[in-house]
Amino acid sequence: MAILRLFAGLRDAAGMSKTAIEGATVADVLDEASRRFGASFTAGLVRSRIWVNGEEATGDTSLTDTDEVAVLPPVSGGSQTITPPAIGVAGLVGVTALILLVVADVFGTEAWYSAVVVGVLSLWALDVATVMSERGRDLPVVPVLFTVTVAVVASRLLGTPGLAVTAVVAVMAPMVWGVVSETGRLIHIVGPAGLVSFMAGVAAASMLLVRYQAGGSLPEPSVEVFLTVATISTIAGMVFDRFRGVAFGDPFTVVALAAVLAALVAAAIWDLEMSTFLLVGVVLALGLVAGRALGSIIRTGSTSLIDQPPGLGWPLDGAVLAAVVLHPVLAILT
């Protein structure tokens, strides 16, 4: 029997993420799945994308007993209705990680804050690697973890230039890893590895530099503003995912609007220049939306975006990319 993996709304409509189904072709497997899981599931299949063993497939693709069929619905829109997803484990993981960063920033020393930043970004990278592994793409995590470690040292010793050093190391590390790893030199591995390494490493350096330079060249509550924006927008996006039937727009729009409003609220709370932090909020909103979209692409291997990508760390995708631009935008605008 082929293994059928389901994601996002299809997973919730079926009540499971994986099952074994007999079928000679993809169409046979999906027909049987529709019979088992009902009309809501069938409606979600209309515009879904299909992969077999990590490669995009069609209904007439032949299957063997060892094949794995993955089905991912696109981002919300259209006439079909899928049962709204619950705020599950992934949502709790994402919010918990952001709250840990808030606690470390408010109550911890610079060393503790640095440790939590490294831990959150490393776990995010490991989650992406796990998801890619399930699609048959083994993303190497050693170069990513090395880059995050370099980010800590470079930002502490070099200051702002450490951001550039981290970016260079982030690009080079996966390529160097390809010298010692045969699979690590494949283009479909090097590309995603370089991107994840860059996002994790530069995000770490950016968040650490903002903390180190707060009260000096940057406003004192800069980290607090970012964490406020990231936390509120992430929660708003997940709540909309659950209650989209009574809201408006799509999750990406909601995340962007929440980010801008959160930046203005934070500026009012800490008595910061409203016009400046309105621009900061807009840039962070773009980062959060682009990060959520980019995370969906990395995790699924397709440009067809979905509401809730696979993995436990997807709620952090937007926050990670927003962190990449955090220090540069603050350095320019403040």
From residue 222, alpha-carbon distances to 137, 156, 214, 230 in Å are 37, 17, 6, 12
Q: Let me know whether 122 and 26 are in one domain.
A: no
φ, ψ for residue 19, nearest 5 deg: -155, 160
Pairing assessment for the beta strands 2-6 and 68-72 based on DSSP bridges: parallel
Q: Let me know whether 143 and 292 are in one domain.
A: yes
Token pair of 59 as six digits: 């209904």
Residue 81 belongs to a domain: no
Per-residue pLDDT of the chain (334 residues; tens, 9 = 90+): 788 888 777 877 887 888 888 888 988 888 888 888 887 788 777 767 888 887 778 888 888 888 888 887 765 443 344 444 445 676 788 889 999 999 999 998 999 999 999 999 999 999 999 888 776 677 889 999 999 999 999 999 999 999 999 999 999 999 898 888 776 677 778 888 999 999 999 999 999 999 999 888 899 899 999 999 999 998 888 887 766 545 556 778 889 999 999 999 999 999 999 999 999 999 999 999 999 889 888 887 766 555 677 788 888 999 999 999 999 999 999 8
Domain that holds residue 235: 89-333
Q: Are 158 and 174 in contact (CB under 8 A)?
A: no
Q: What is the reported pLDDT for 81?
A: 40
Q: What angle do CA 245, 246, 250 make, to 5 degrees?
A: 65
Q: Let me know whether 95 and 154 are in one domain.
A: yes
Residue appearing with tokens 């968040």 = 207
Distance from the first to the final alpha carbon of the chain? 60
Q: Which residue in 137, 241, 248 sits closest to 195, CA to CA?
A: 137
Q: What is the CATH number of the domain that holds 66?
A: 3.10.20.30
Q: Let me know whether 134 and 207 are in one domain.
A: yes
Q: Let me know whether 20 and 123 are in one domain.
A: no
DSSP 3-state assignment of 190?
helix
Q: What is the reported pLDDT for 136?
A: 65
Residue 83 belongs to a domain: no
Q: Let me know whether 166 and 315 are in one domain.
A: yes
